[in-house]
Amino acid sequence: MSKAMLRHADAQTIPISFTVNGRQQELTVEPHELLLDVVRERLGLTGAKRSCDVQVCGACTLLVDGRPVSACTTLAFEVRDRSVMTIEGLADGGKLHPLQEAFIEYGGFQCGFCTPGMILAAKALLDENPNPSEDELKHFMHGNICRCTGYKKIIESIMAAAKKMRAGH
Amino acid sequence: MLRRFRMEEPESVKDVSELLGQYGESAKVYAGGTELLLAMKEGLVQYERLINVKNIRGLNDVTSENGSIHIGALCTHHQLETSPLLHENLPALVKLEQNVANVRVRQVGTLGGNLCFAEPHADPGTLLMALGAKMVAEKSTSKREIPAEAFFVDAYETSIEADEVLTEIRVPVPDSKSGVAYLKFGYLERPSVGVAIALRLNGGGKSIHDATIAVGCAGPAPKRVLEAEELIKGTSIDEAGAKILKAGEIAGHAADAISDLHGSQEYKEHIVGVLLKRAFQNALSQC
C-alpha cells in the first residue's frame, strides 16, 4: 500500500515495569520504541551497541529473563514484567564476572565493540550448558560477529571462563 | 528507526480477526517481529497499527493428536528446537529449527510468523511441505485447513485471507519405515537453497513406497516437485539411487530459481540436485 495513504498514527503510551540489572524501572514507552534506544538513551546504559540493525551481528545483545535477544529489533514494551541484563550489570560490585576476567586474560577482544554482546551471549550459553564442547559453543555464538580479529581468542576466553565457573570461582 | 504506530493487544483469535477486518491493510499481525520489524525499519512496509497476538492463550503448545503433531503458531523456534515431543516424532524439524538464523532470532521468532511472512529465504515451509503439513487458518466465523502446497503463493504472499489468523500447524508423524531430511546451503545470513525429502519404504524395505520432495529458497516460494517424486516412487532402492540425479535435475528446474546475490539461476539449480542426492541418502539411512 502506498505510504501516502497512511495517516500519522496518534501517539500511544504504554506504562511498563521491569528490572534492569536487578533494579526496578518504571517507564512509559511508545509502541515503536526499541529496547536498544530505551536502554542507551533513556537509561544511559551504552554497553549494548547498534551495529547491523538487522539481528545478524549480535552487538546489541541483551539478556531478557536470561536469554539473548537483539535489542535493536525488540520493541521496548515487550520487556514489561521481565528482567533485563546489560553488560553493566554483570560485574558483582567491583568484582568482574569470570567471563570478563577471561576475556581480559586471554585477549578475547580488540576494538571491543562486539564484546558486550559476546560476553552476554556466552553467559546465556554457560547458564544453560556449563560444560559446552567447542562445537556447541561455536553453534551458540554463531550469531555474534567480531569484525576485528577473529574468533580463536574469543573461544579460548569462553572455554577458560566455563572451566573456572565449573570449578566454582 | 521505526515510525510511530499503535499497538492493539487482543486476547482472542476472534478479536484479532475482527481488528484485521476493521483496519484492513493499515494493520498487520505482530508476533515475534523478527521479519516484520526489519521490513518496517527499512521503510519497505509501514502500518498504522500492529496487532500483538502474543497475549492469546493456547497458541504456543506442541501436542500429539491422532498420529499428528499440532504446533501452535506462536511457538518460537527455540521452543521447537527443545521440544521433547518434536525430538521424539519429528527429528528432521528439530534439526532445521536448531539451524534457523541465530540464537537471538530463534528466541523470539515464531513458526507461525515465519510461515505467514513468507520470506523466500526461509527454511520451515519447504520441510513442512515434504512432511505433508497442514496450516490451520481461523477467523471470527470459520476455521479451515490449508495444505502446505496451497499455503505459499509467491514471495511474501500466502493464501491466508486478510482477516484470517494462522493458529496451528499440523504435521503427520512419519511411520517407522520412513526417513526425512532437510538440507540447505548458503554463504549469506539466509539460506540460498533448501531441499526436503520424505521417503517411505514398502513392507519389505526393498523399494520406495512413497516419496515427497520440496524445494525452497532458490525461487519465490517453497514448491513441491511431483515429477521428481514420480520418478522414484515404486522403484527399488537401487533404481531410485540411480534416478535421483535426474530427479534433482527436474527439481532444479522446478525451483523457479532466480539469479541474485545468492547465486546465478544455473548455480542454484545445480545445488538443488546436489542437495537432493544427499538428502535422499540421508533419508534412506533412517528408514
Cell of B160: 491466508
Q: How far apart are CA B273 and CA B251, in angstroms?
A: 7
Range list of β-strands (E), B131-205 = 134-138, 143-147, 152-154, 157-158, 165-172, 178-185, 193-201
Name the DSSP class of B14: H
- How many residues are listed for chain A in this entry? 169
- Chain B positions touching A68 (Cβ under 8 A) are 103-104, 107
Judged by phi (left if over 0) then psi (alpha if -120 to 50, else beta), residue B234 lies in: left
pLDDT at residue B124, rounded to an integer: 98
Cell 501516502 belongs to A4
pLDDT at residue A129, rounded to an integer: 97
Burial of B176 (0-12, 13-18, 19+ CB in 10 A): exposed
Residue B107 at interface with chain A, using a CB cutoff of 8 Å? yes
Q: How far apart are CA B52 and CA B33, in angstroms?
A: 10
Query: Which residues, numbered 22 to 81 in chain A, qualify as contacts with chain B under a Cβ-Cβ cut-off of 8 Å?
Result: 30-34, 53-56, 58, 61, 67-70, 73-75, 77
User: How many A-B residue pairs are in contact by the CB < 8 A criterion?
Assistant: 79
The shortest CB-CB distance from B38 to any of A54, A140, A143 is to: A54
Q: How far apart are CA A16 and CA A9, in angstroms?
A: 21
Decide: B231 and B255 in contact? Cβ < 8 Å.
Answer: no
Residue B246 at interface with chain A, using a CB cutoff of 8 Å? no
Q: Regarding predicted confidence, which is higher, A169 or B221?
A: B221
Instruction: Give the number of other Cβ atoms within 10 Å of residue A151's Cβ.
Output: 16
Residue B44 at interface with chain A, using a CB cutoff of 8 Å? no
At residue A11 the predicted structure's pLDDT band, cuts being 50, 70 and 90, is confident
- Asked if A5's CB is within 8 angstroms of B26's CB, the reply is yes
Given a cut of 60, is residue A5 above it in pLDDT?
no
pLDDT at residue A1, rounded to an integer: 42
Query: Which residues, numbered 178 to 207 in chain B, qualify as contacts with chain A under a Cβ-Cβ cut-off of 8 Å?
Result: 189
Pick from B13, B12, B45, B54: which is nearest to B27 by CA?
Answer: B45
- Asked if B105's CB is within 8 angstroms of A31's CB, the reply is no
Distances (CA, A) of B237 to B131, B231, B233: 20, 12, 10
Decide: B279 and B183 in contact? Cβ < 8 Å.
Answer: yes
pLDDT at residue A9, rounded to an integer: 60
Q: Which ipTM score applies to this complex?
A: 0.94
Q: Which residue of B has its CA nearest to A77?
A: B7
The domain defined by A98-166 carries CATH number 1.10.150.120: yes
Residue B114 at interface with chain A, using a CB cutoff of 8 Å? no
The 10s digit of each residue's pLDDT in A94-125 is 999 999 999 999 999 999 999 999 999 999 99
pLDDT at residue A3, rounded to an integer: 46
Given a cut of 90, is residue A26 above it in pLDDT?
yes
> What are the structural domains of chain B?
6-52 (3.30.43.10), 62-172 (3.30.465.10), 178-286 (3.30.390.50)
Instruction: CATH number for A12-89: choose from 3.40.190.10, 3.30.360.10, 3.10.20.30, 3.40.50.850.
Output: 3.10.20.30
Name the DSSP class of B194: E
Mean pLDDT within A46-72: 97
3-class DSSP state for residue B9? coil
pLDDT at residue A6, rounded to an integer: 53
Q: What is the pTM of this model?
A: 0.96
pLDDT at residue A2, rounded to an integer: 42
pLDDT at residue A117, rounded to an integer: 98
Q: How far is B132 from chain A (nearest CA, A)?
A: 29
As a three-state string, the secondary structure of chain A is CCHHHCCCCCCCCEEEEEEECCEEEEEEECCCCEHHHHHHHHCCCCCCCCCCCCCCCCCCEEEECCEEEEHHHCEHHHHCCCEEECHHHCCECCECCHHHHHHHHCCCCCCCCCHHHHHHHHHHHHHHCCCCCHHHHHHHHHHCCCCCCCCHHHHHHHHHHHHHHHCCC
Which residues sit opposite B194 in a β-bridge? Answer: B184, B216
Angle ∠(A147,A153,A156) on CA atoms, nearest 5: 140
* Structural domain boundaries in chain A: 12-89, 98-166
Pick from B284, B128, B105: which is nearest to B216 by CA?
Answer: B128
Task: Collect the ranges in chain B with pLDDT lower than 70.
Answer: none
Cell of B127: 520441510
